[in-house]
Amino acid sequence: MTLLQVEALTKSFGARRVLRDVSFSIAEGEIVGLVGTNGAGKSTLGDIVAGITPADSGRMTLLGHPYAPLSAADARHVGVGVVEQLVRIDPSLTVAQAVFRGTAQAGRPQEELRRQAQVLLSEVTLDVDPDTLVGDLPHFVHGLVETARVLAEATRLVVLDEVSAALLPSEVTGLHAVAGRLSRQGRGVLYISHRLPEMLEVVDRVLVLRDGWIALDSPSEALDPVRLAAETVGEPVSVPVRRETVAAVPDDVVPPDDAAVPDGAAAPVPARPAPSDEVALRVRNLRVPGRVEGVDLLLRRGEVVGLTGHRSSGVREIADALSGELPAITDEIELHGEPPADAGTLRLPVYRPDEDAYGVDPGETIARTLTQEAWGSLTDLRKEIATLREVIRTVHQMDVKTLSIRTVFGALSGGDQHKLALARWMSSARDVVVLHEPTRGLDVRARRQVRQLLDDATAHGTSVVVVSVDPDELAECCDRVGIVVDGRVARWIDTGELALDSVRERIVEAATAAA
């Protein structure tokens, strides 16, 4: 039986048409995947279904009855729940209270909620004490708390919007188990994701949203990640096989566009400058009492090194120690052969996407956001024109969906906000930097654009430490990947001439073996 029927939905934001006559259905017990490029309107469509955003026109029915929710609470009242890409939960709540907020059990004493919350948390593979305050949890697991809340509700339909973007492979497996349970109970799931191989493992059908239309509606068994990636961007996609490194290319040499690749063939990853032999950073015996037991790290000039591990592995603490956010002890630290100026303490610049519009003012325009100088301080007209031209170049280079550089930053899609914020940050990044999940939640084309940002930076001598739980991101971006276990780097994987699939498999196998 049809659970949700959507007919001819349209939605515009100002002069920009986001959705154009979108029609599809979800049956009871069906898991439907929704994919598309950043800015294609996936989250907008999910928000309309979940009652967060009203459509401009169109019609929806739920189990044959007219469905036009006025709010998310209205949608929940008739059985439609959502886990949003950026979850905001009152930090003063306990995890148990957060799981049951908005349900019939909300307001019951903590001791009565604790045991039931623990069961639901186990189902979503989140190992936390139900008495923990939400404010004490890292933000990247809030989506799992929200997923547990959806399980506690009597939902008929669940919208999962990029919940897997910041999850470990084992946590994604748990999320898929939750989706499977909902399906077996006759509930429907709209699963929005950019992680195509993982999504195809769990969904029954796939919708591709492109240019505001449903460009493809196909059973998942008829697709593979390569074809789905091609359908998503609307053009042939070369399949990365290996990371080739070559000597730095002179600035006046422009590489040709991607050559055409025969059907079924695989194209190599575009060559990137090889790291220098010069040591940019040397850290010996890094310790954080109780969390990091002794890590040696050597990073060459122009090299991208990845660090990954389970939540309790110590990988986050290593990153925080490198950026000076966490007190640490070392036997030796050298930046380009010299000890750091600040009494031997590392304070590497760090970028991490966060819930506050990626660290910039969401009410500011794109032009002002990307302008390094204080607005109004420019007195040279030629310099001001050059600055705005650079803003326009960045917007085009990052393929941002906007009609004007005067668009406010917060009106952009989450992926476009992330790309521009990272481009802004990288434009001033020098020497050695730490990046947390630089391609999180980005589509195939956008991930290539971020890789190009990193390649441009490393070609000019910047060295990068990438901290991530996404094996695809690590395989695509890094020269070497360290698997962190019990506060130590248990294994280094050199991406070298390996196929990307092989690198990904080795990362997953190493992380799984360490669990």
Residue 20 to residues 17, 45, 118, 210, 380: CA-CA distances in angstroms?
7, 11, 43, 10, 44
Alpha-helix runs per DSSP H in 2-141:
42-49, 72-77, 95-100, 110-123
pLDDT number for residue 194: 87
DSSP state of 25: E
Sheet containing 213-219: which strands, arranged edge to edge?
80-83, 157-161, 188-192, 31-35, 205-210, 213-219
Q: State the Cα–Cα distance between residues 499 and 501, nearest whole angstrom.
A: 5
**Rounded to 5°, angle at Cα 90 from 89 and 96:** 80
Residue 3 to residues 82, 164, 405, 415, 472: CA-CA distances in angstroms?
16, 24, 41, 30, 34
Examine the pLDDT at 515 and tell me if it is beyond 70. no
Residue 34 to residues 25, 192, 219, 243: CA-CA distances in angstroms?
12, 5, 12, 30
Query: Comparing C-alpha atoms, which of 42, 1, 52, 50 is closest to residue 22?
Result: 42
Instruction: Tell me the per-residue pLDDT of 254-306, one tens digit each, with 9 for 90 and over.
Output: 333 333 333 333 334 455 667 888 999 999 999 999 889 899 999 999 999 99
pLDDT band with cut points at 50, 70 and 90 for residue 113: very high
Q: State the Cα–Cα distance between residues 440 and 194, nearest whole angstrom.
A: 9
Name 480's bridge partners.
305, 494
pLDDT number for residue 498: 74
Tokens for 395?
């917007």
Instruction: Tell me the per-residue pLDDT of 147-203, one tens digit each, with 9 for 90 and over.
Output: 888 888 878 999 999 888 878 777 888 889 889 989 999 999 999 998 888 899 999
Tokens for 33?
């995947």
Instruction: Tell me the per-residue pLDDT of 323-370, one tens digit each, with 9 for 90 and over.
Output: 999 999 999 999 888 888 776 678 899 998 765 556 678 888 999 888
Q: Out of 36-45, 292-301, 361-370, 506-515, which region has the weakest mean confidence (pLDDT)?
A: 506-515
Domain ranges, ordered by start, for the chain? 2-233, 279-514
pLDDT number for residue 179: 92
Place of tokens 């280094």: 492
Q: State the Cα–Cα distance between residues 263 and 236, nearest whole angstrom.
A: 9
Q: Are 74 and 90 in contact (CB under 8 A)?
A: no
Q: State the Cα–Cα distance between residues 348 and 335, nearest whole angstrom.
A: 10
E strands, 220-346, in order? 245-246, 272-273, 279-288, 292-300, 304-308, 332-335
pLDDT number for residue 258: 39
Q: State the Cα–Cα distance between residues 128 and 435, nearest whole angstrom.
A: 26
Name 435's bridge partners.
351, 466
Share of the chain above pLDDT 70, in %: 88
Tokens for 22?
């979108």
pLDDT number for residue 265: 34
Residue 256 to residues 251, 253, 260, 270, 271: CA-CA distances in angstroms?
14, 9, 11, 10, 12
DSSP state of 53: S
Tokens for 56?
């401009």
Average pLDDT, the chain: 85
Query: Comparing C-alpha atoms, which of 39, 60, 36 is closest to residue 48?
Result: 60
pLDDT number for residue 245: 45
Q: State the Cα–Cα distance between residues 170 and 166, nearest whole angstrom.
A: 12
Per-residue pLDDT, averaged over 455-473, amounts to 91
pLDDT number for residue 418: 87
Share of the chain above pLDDT 90, in %: 43
Phi, psi of 440 (to 5 degrees): -60, 130
Burial of 511 (C-beta count, 10 Å sphere; 0-12/13-18/19+): buried
Same fold, 2-233 and 279-514: yes
Examine the pLDDT at 412 and tell me if it is beyond 60. yes
Q: Does 27 or 266 have the greater pLDDT score?
A: 27
pLDDT number for residue 215: 94
Residue 92 to residues 56, 89, 112, 135, 140: CA-CA distances in angstroms?
36, 9, 18, 6, 17
Examine the pLDDT at 249 and tell me if it is beyond 50. no
pLDDT number for residue 277: 87
Q: For the whole model, what pTM was predicted?
A: 0.78
Examine the pLDDT at 401 and tell me if it is beyond 70. yes
pLDDT band with cut points at 50, 70 and 90 for residue 223: very high
2-233 adopts what CATH topology? Answer: Rossmann fold (3.40.50)
Examine the pLDDT at 247 and tell me if it is beyond 70. no
279-514 adopts what CATH topology? Answer: Rossmann fold (3.40.50)
Q: Are 422 and 450 in contact (CB under 8 A)?
A: yes
Q: State the Cα–Cα distance between residues 458 and 177, nearest whole angstrom.
A: 40
Q: Out of 103-107, 364-368, 405-409, which region has the weakest mean confidence (pLDDT)?
A: 103-107
pLDDT number for residue 172: 85
pLDDT number for residue 318: 95
